[in-house]
Structure 1
């Protein structure tokens, strides 16, 4: 008898083998649900627990755990990279140093967007610019309904971050990985040597910033632990089997399954950034996350 599970995963080379059955999930009847774009599905997961297993951005996970949303992290990084290229301006505008953003307005999809978390983190770490030094203008609400934005966050009626730039409502904008090559095509990074700046960040911290992880509802893990473990093991195999399809870039190297020093460092730094930025108000309990993750690599 198989256990039915609803699973929400984005479409990546390393998730395709599960969705097309190339890598079977033994003893589990997985219903792979689709959502395009993905962010509304993340909100449904943390607000309504819509899925049994769900891809989830790092910042959303940290906020959800603090809010008491009953989900457990699986030690999987589905996408990640550095984000020094994500902070952009219009090409026709004058050059603008990240340090010069103090007192200015910066667009971001949501204050809880994970790319924004990483960008604000390196802004403070490398340029001394605190989150509260900037007015963050958002086009969407955060996924976790219980969260209240800090007073230096402003909600716009504009639907796209790039349009905030084009209307000169903001001086710079944070764009996620897909948006950089989409609505943000032609925009200029504020960091001139963004690639090397990102490499320096990874060398300093011993990790690559994770954007999307994977969570399971606590009741599903409690009632069907073997089924959840089977999904994790299948995904881990798919990630290993598709290694040749990923290049040696930071984004390619970020994809991984299994608890590691790199994942621990990623969660530690991300959690610290989140606390500094008031994305969470209490310190992240890395020990509890690691203890729960140990189940999957037993």
Structure 2
């Protein structure tokens, strides 16, 4: 019997490249991998039409839809994107922001209030620094051009929140430089960071802060996961286990390549030092898959979404993820 043909869309990652080049193939599946490096474009295309059978997806969007019993997807506990977020918080040098508490009552730019990166930024500001965000005005818009950040599905929040749309002819990066907003958070750095002296990081020693955060909390923030269209999954539920196993094999090949101590595979002069520190902090698998191995991080993400008013109740993780473990 011929293998089942499925199309999978994701960014270009070391952990998925073996699926793309065919060196890892899921059992019983002929997987066509499509690369789309703009996450918002990918999410919008996956949501708008039946363009892909499975794809990388915002974890926050899938959690929110599942909590409302509206998700057309079931997820694999495979996390294509993770990122600590201290380094993505920037401030205007003249806004009087010296500490995280100084963000209270400010105007803060964010591509989307509901995006996973912003959820993690706000959560750590509350948890670690006691920042009261209730008086903040959030200004939504694209970081690198005028207008909106994609076309995500919008839902009413469960609590009063000041959110404005950037209707100016300038990007959030330009508004930050001019002082019309006081700070930015999210998944992207301002485009003029490093060239405009008015734009500074809130956490200058972010590497140490992020390392300390992980050591203290055991939380490695999850941005994206992999979703399967529910109608595809229901026709052939066996594909979830096959895909999960293949993603694990692909990640292992990428880790072996990264851990190789001969000629470096990337143009990072201090790659081996980075690898040694990563193994010292995270062990041999800095990117674990599965619900059990990530329960603390998943529970933290859900709590932050509740605190932000993005969901009214926690999603049932047995409905969020296919049973593959």
| TM-score using structure 2 length | 0.80
Equivalent residue, structure 1, for 2:164? 154
Q: Is the 8 A contact 1:47 1:145 kept in 2?
A: no
2:87 aligned counterpart, secondary structure: coil
The answer to whether structure 1 residue 51 and structure 2 residue 43 are counterparts is no
Q: Is the 8 A contact 2:40 2:149 kept in 1?
A: no
Aligned ranges 1:24-35 → 2 under 5 Å: 24-35=25-36
Equivalent residue, structure 2, for 1:266? 297
2:309 to 251, 264, 278: 278
Equivalents in 1 of 2:3, 2:74: separation in Å?
A: 22
Q: Is the 8 A contact 2:65 2:71 kept in 1?
A: yes
Structure 2: which 5+ runs fail to align? 142-147, 260-274
Equivalent residue, structure 1, for 2:264? none
Equivalent residue, structure 1, for 2:153? 145
1:64 aligned counterpart, secondary structure: helix
Aligned ranges 1:1-298 → 2 under 5 Å: 1-67=2-68, 68-90=70-92, 94-139=96-141, 140=148, 144-148=152-156, 151-157=161-167, 160-176=171-187, 179-180=188-189, 184-185=193-194, 187-244=199-256, 245=258, 247=275, 248-249=277-278, 254-261=286-293, 263-286=294-317, 288-289=319-320, 292-293=321-322, 295-297=323-325
2:86 aligned counterpart, secondary structure: coil
Equivalents in 2 of 1:160, 1:253: separation in Å?
A: 38
What do you get for the CA RMSD once the two structures are aligned?
2.6
| TM-score using structure 1 length | 0.86
Equivalents in 2 of 1:44, 1:131: separation in Å?
A: 32
Equivalences, count: 291
Equivalents in 2 of 1:73, 1:96: separation in Å?
A: 40
Offset of 1:209 from its aligned partner?
0.7
C-alpha distance 223-152 of structure 1, shift in aligned 2 (>3 A)? same
Offset of 1:181 from its aligned partner?
8.3
Which has the higher mean CA deviation after the structures are superposed, 213-222 or 193-202? 193-202
Q: Is the 8 A contact 2:105 2:133 kept in 1?
A: no
Greater C-alpha radius of gyration = 2
Deviation readout 1:261-290 (Å, 9 max, x if unpaired): 3x111110000001100121222334554x
Deviation readout 1:36-59 (Å, 9 max, x if unpaired): 422122123234353211111222
Deviation readout 1:229-272 (Å, 9 max, x if unpaired): 322221110101111327354899653323333x1111100000
Q: Is the 8 A contact 2:40 2:150 kept in 1?
A: no
1:242 aligned counterpart, secondary structure: helix
Equivalents in 2 of 1:134, 1:126: separation in Å?
A: 18
The structure with the greater share of residues assigned to helix is 1
C-alpha distance 37-141 of structure 1, shift in aligned 2 (>3 A)? closer
Offset of 1:77 from its aligned partner?
1.5
Which has the higher mean CA deviation after the structures are superposed, 45-54 or 235-244? 45-54
C-alpha distance 49-200 of structure 1, shift in aligned 2 (>3 A)? farther
